[in-house]
Structure 1
Amino acid sequence: MNRWAAAVEYDGARYAGWQAQQHANSVQAELQAALSRVADHPVEVVAAGRTDAGVHGYFQVVHFDSQASRSGYAWLLGSNSGLPADIALRWVQPVRSDFHARHSARSRAYRYLIHNARHRSALLAGRAAWVTWALDADAMHAAAQVLVGERDFSAFRDSECQSRSPMRQVQHLAVSRHGDLVVLDIRANAFLHHMVRNIAGTLMQVGGGRRTPEWVAQVLASRQRTQAGMNAPACGLYFVDVEYPAEFGIPDAPEFWLP
């Protein structure tokens, strides 16, 4: 039995999330079906992180085990030919048997995209949140810095989050403007359910002038989800990177084409 790692990208609009579900389409189920056809036996995949319904993946890393004798290129070509157009493998490569897509990860990164304009966009529809009121990206960035470090993120977790601890270490959080796009980049050791979308929704309140930057610190200290902003739309969220120890030889994520 050999272990393989792969990078997957997907448009999450048609799926009920990453995780396989009995009565809904999922990215995991589609990928497992494609890999199983290439392997000629059932294949299960483990991902670096689960994404919710409507969330996209730019560099989701998975691992799977197979006894089939296939090259990395055979896995790549065969699986991509059987996957729907909105899911694709970037690469497949052999890895050590102790590599684990989830447990070996040191950090994960997400990007949240906001189309900040009075007009709607045909090309960004379903790929970015649309906010019509003006956002001050600099104010959002300044307010976000209180969230960097090891913090109790109870105020930013979903009520159905199953994590045993609300503690997470945010290593980087930046908000910047690129024309009509406001971009939130965040990296942490791990994330709580809806954590990034709740942070994005909270920072939008600051960016729109409805709350002061100091309010974010108050929300964090409250540890109450009811004190934070809205859960921002899923369509703006992308899983963009996962970091592993160099010894596993996992390639770096290429630069995202959206700023």
Structure 2
Amino acid sequence: MSDEAAPGYVRVRLDLSYDGGDFHGWAKQAGGKRTVQGEIEDALRTVTRSRETYELTVAGRTDAGVHARGQVAHVDLPREVWAEQNGKLLKRLAGRLPRDVRVWALREAPVGFNARFSAVWRRYAYRVTDNPGGVDPLLRGHVLWHDWPLDVDAMNEAARRLLGEHDFAAYCKKREGATTIRTLQELSLVRGDDGIVTATVRADAFCHNMVRSLIGALLFVGDGHRPPDWPGKVLAAGVRDSAVHVVRPHGLTLEEVGYPADDRLAARNKEARNRRSLPTAGCC
């Protein structure tokens, strides 16, 4: 995966959003399952009248059912295609894409930009309500119903113990050869005037199921089934705990992806590709 477009190609940044309810996640899959990547690549091929599929690289691969408001991707297009299409490509995509996915901006990316490896953080929101009557029918595809009253203060106390750089193996679905060390930069919860509790989760990167597992642990604290120090103890143990549930995906939305200044892109790409390890304590 290169940080530069091949000769004769232009790297284009796409800013997009989608309702994940009817998608089998972001990434293309065998068997013809409907995915966000597949829909956008098919639309690009159609509107550029190309026989070639121009493959997208995304900032964060979302799972089936997860939504995105501020997703970012890039695609390398032949220079002549970009020159011909760039003034009308956005509108043509709007006419070709299904209603549950939209591309909002297309622009030539700065030198060294890589939607995945250049990112310095991703910010998600998870929305849940403990209203005894359930979820507003108009929000049912984006808000989880939890049928126990939630103590948001206790959840925030537990969340603070999880911040920083850790091995999040206890909250991740393990993938062969992949590290589970991440830096959790923000984890906080606020109850809105409508009663919906929104958890903001920001990290340099996330491993598989990490956000939904963290929220599952905090809900157990919020409803009184576990004390505020329990999620931190699970983290320190470093192994999956059967009491940590991976909550349903529809409450989760990728809100925003952050990138460094253009002159920091190359350095960031190199950092992101390095396999991480936690610092070890000194001998003395």
2:23 paired with 1:8: no
Match of 1:61 among 62, 69, 72: 72
SS of alignment partner, residue 91 of structure 2: helix
Whether the aligned pair in 2 keeps the contact of 1:115 and 1:124 (CA below 8 Å) is: no
Match of 1:28 among 22, 27, 37: 37
Indicate the percent of aligned positions where both proteins have the same amino acid: 36
Measure the CA separation in 2 of the matches of 1:55 and 1:237.
Answer: 5
Q: 5+ residue gaps in structure 1? A: 251-259
**Partner of residue 84, structure 1:** 98
Q: Rg bigger for which structure?
A: 2
RMSD: 1.7
TM-score calculated relative to the size of structure 2: 0.84
Whether the aligned pair in 1 keeps the contact of 2:111 and 2:262 (CA below 8 Å) is: no
**Partner of residue 126, structure 1:** 141
**Partner of residue 275, structure 2:** none
Distance 1:153 1:19, change over 3 A: same
Whether the aligned pair in 1 keeps the contact of 2:17 and 2:101 (CA below 8 Å) is: yes
Runs of 4+ in 1 over 3 A off after TM superposition: 70-73
Match of 2:129 among 115, 121, 131: 115
2:172 paired with 1:157: yes
**Partner of residue 181, structure 2:** 167
Distance 1:173 1:216, change over 3 A: same
Measure the CA separation in 2 of the matches of 1:116 and 1:72.
Answer: 47
Measure the CA separation in 1 of the matches of 2:130 and 2:54.
Answer: 42
Measure the CA separation in 1 of the matches of 2:97 and 2:260.
Answer: 30
2:157 paired with 1:142: yes
Give the aligned residue type for 2:218: L
**Pairwise CA distance, 1:97:** 4.4
Q: 5+ residue gaps in structure 2? A: 1-8, 266-284
**Pairwise CA distance, 1:116:** 2.0
Measure the CA separation in 2 of the matches of 1:157 and 1:180.
Answer: 29
Distance 1:37 1:15, change over 3 A: same
Distance 1:227 1:146, change over 3 A: farther
> Superposed, which structure 2 residues align to 1:35-46 within 5 Å?
35-41=44-50, 42-46=53-57
Whether the aligned pair in 1 keeps the contact of 2:66 and 2:250 (CA below 8 Å) is: yes
Measure the CA separation in 1 of the matches of 2:177 and 2:86.
Answer: 35
TM-score calculated relative to the size of structure 1: 0.91
**Partner of residue 281, structure 2:** none
**Partner of residue 94, structure 1:** 108
**Pairwise CA distance, 1:228:** 4.7
**Pairwise CA distance, 1:73:** 4.3
2:201 paired with 1:186: yes
**Partner of residue 241, structure 2:** 226
**Pairwise CA distance, 1:95:** 1.1
Give the aligned residue type for 1:225: R
SS of alignment partner, residue 147 of structure 1: coil
Match of 1:208 among 223, 235, 246: 223
Measure the CA separation in 2 of the matches of 1:36 and 1:249.
Answer: 32
Measure the CA separation in 2 of the matches of 1:70 and 1:228.
Answer: 55
2:57 paired with 1:49: no
Measure the CA separation in 2 of the matches of 1:143 and 1:130.
Answer: 21
**Pairwise CA distance, 1:91:** 0.8
